[in-house]
């Protein structure tokens, strides 16, 4: 929906020319209850000045712009799938203007996550490394498996695969899986994570959580958690074959935020999975 109606949610999209930016613009236009209010790309981006839906062969009248303040003044909520430094710059302005933020960006440091929490005291924020319903249900399955398999010497390995353009590793989803498992077992991921193995590593240390990263081609996003015991293995997998689920989840998150003024939430809140 592009024309305003009194009840439609005014959604701005950051990273409008990106892989997720395109999916999100398409989803907003098809939604029926949201309107595309603004589209942002960073200064110097080749898409600036073009219609935000030009990639669909459509004209919405919403041109891609780089001025964050002007764009956010037109919106109720910003959906941001960019890079950590971009998201934080957008969030600082959003918090000032009272615009809500759905953050899909991954790769934040602990210090950057703390910055998000501070801004969430002024505006409502959803931060989730994976907006798909299936992945969030997988987090719950992992919580149960991690508790049930805590005794008995099950070694835990998290394997993820993504397209060749992805810039952060392990994926935000894989890290969240590690956190969910560690917390379900009453521990901290930082004390158990092994991110690299090379050369004479020695035997696997018990209680560690290993990560393996694959990058190639156009893989949208695969995650498998392996609980390797003696005489048996349990594997819990999720595979995305399209980015549409991330976009639909983001719109659900944006609708959830419409009723909030401040605070930090995640997809467990949106999907009532807590
Ligand atoms: N939570 C979830 O469900 C999902 C999360 N993601 C995450 O979303 C992010 C984006 O993924 P994807 O769409 O594939 O990436 P792309 O590289 O395709 O798109 C990124 C977009 O952000 C823009 N951008 C880059 N740096 C900045 C900056 N500093 N300030 C403002 N804009 C910037 C890019 O502009 P330019 O082209 O000019 O560089 C581009 O438009 C990643 O962190 C990814 O891990 C992805 C899918 C699902
Ligand atoms: O960069 C991607 O593509 C994805 N990133 C997210 C992550 O890092 O977990 C979510 C999804 O796996 C796709």
- Please tell me the predicted confidence (pLDDT) of residue 5: 63
Known catalytic residue at 140? no
Would you give the DSSP letter of residue 129? S
- Residue 129 CA: nearest ligand 1 atom is 1
CATH 2.20.25.90 fits 9-127+243-270, yes or no: no
Q: Is 105 annotated as a binding residue?
A: yes
pTM of the model: 0.97
- 37 Cα: distance to centroid of ligand 2 (angstroms): 25
Q: What is the pLDDT of residues 212-251, one digit of tens each?
A: 999 999 999 999 999 999 999 999 999 999 999 999 999 9
Cα–Cα distance between 185 and 163 in angstroms, integer? 31
Q: What is the pLDDT of residues 118-157, one digit of tens each?
A: 999 999 999 999 999 999 999 999 999 999 999 999 999 9
Q: Which residues pair with 235 in a beta bridge?
A: 226
Cβ–Cβ < 8 Å for 65, 40: yes
Known catalytic residue at 58? no
Read off the pLDDT of each residue in 199-209 and give the average, rounded to a whole number: 98
Pocket residues for ligand 1 (CB within 6 Å)?
15, 17-21, 41-42, 45, 81-83, 85-86, 104-107, 128-131, 172, 246
- Residue 131 CA: nearest ligand 1 atom is 3
* Structural domain boundaries in the chain: 9-127+243-270, 133-240
Q: Which member of 166, 176, 223, 238 is catalytic?
A: 166
Q: How confident is the model at residue 6 (pLDDT cuts 50, 70, 90)?
A: low
- Please tell me the predicted confidence (pLDDT) of residue 70: 98
Interface ipTM above 0.95: yes
Q: How confident is the model at residue 1 (pLDDT cuts 50, 70, 90)?
A: very low
Q: What CA–CA distances, in Å, run from 134 to 44, 207, 253?
A: 36, 27, 15
Fold annotation for 133-240: Dihydrodipicolinate Reductase; domain 2 (3.30.360)
Tallying the residues shown for the chain, one arrives at: 274
Inform me whether the pLDDT recorded for 4 exceeds 70: no
Inform me whether the pLDDT recorded for 262 exceeds 50: yes
Q: Ligand 1, from 42, 172, 173, 241: best to mutate by most atoms within 8 Å of Cβ?
A: 42
Q: Strands 34-40 and 77-80: what pairing?
A: unpaired
SS3 breakdown of the chain: % helix, strand, coil, rounded to 5? 35, 25, 40
Cα–Cα distance between 224 and 233 in angstroms, integer? 12
Inform me whether the pLDDT recorded for 273 exceeds 60: yes
């Amino acid at each position: 929906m592009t024309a305003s109606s009194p009840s439609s949610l005014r959604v701005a999209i950051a990273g409008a020319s990106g892989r997720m930016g395109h999916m999100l613009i398409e989803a907003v236009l098809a939604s029926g209850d949201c309107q595309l209010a603004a589209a942002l790309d960073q200064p110097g981006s080749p898409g600036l000045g073009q219609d935000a839906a030009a990639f669909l062969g459509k004209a919405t009248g919403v041109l891609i712009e780089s001025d964050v303040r002007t764009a956010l003044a037109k919106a109720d909520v910003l959906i941001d799938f960019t890079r950590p430094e971009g998201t934080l710059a957008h969030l600082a302005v959003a918090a000032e203007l009272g615009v809500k933020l759905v953050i899909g960006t991954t790769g934040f440091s602990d210090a950057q996550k703390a910055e998000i929490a501070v801004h969430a005291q002024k505006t409502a924020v959803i931060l989730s490394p994976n907006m798909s319903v299936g992945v969030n249900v997988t987090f719950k399955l992992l919580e149960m498996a991690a508790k049930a398999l805590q005794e008995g010497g099950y070694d835990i390995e998290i394997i993820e695969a993504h397209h060749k353009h992805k810039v952060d590793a392990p994926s935000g989803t894989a890290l969240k899986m590690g956190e969910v498992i560690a917390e379900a077992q009453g521990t901290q991921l930082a004390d158990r994570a092994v991110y690299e193995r090379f050369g004479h590593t020695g035997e696997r240390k018990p209680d560690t959580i290993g990560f393996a990263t694959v990058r190639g081609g156009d893989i949208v996003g695969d995650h498998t958690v392996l609980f390797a015991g003696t005489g048996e293995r349990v594997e819990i997998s999720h595979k995305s074959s399209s980015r549409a689920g991330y976009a639909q989840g983001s719109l659900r998150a944006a609708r959830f935020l419409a009723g909030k003024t401040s605070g930090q939430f995640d997809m467990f809140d949106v999907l009532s999975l807590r």
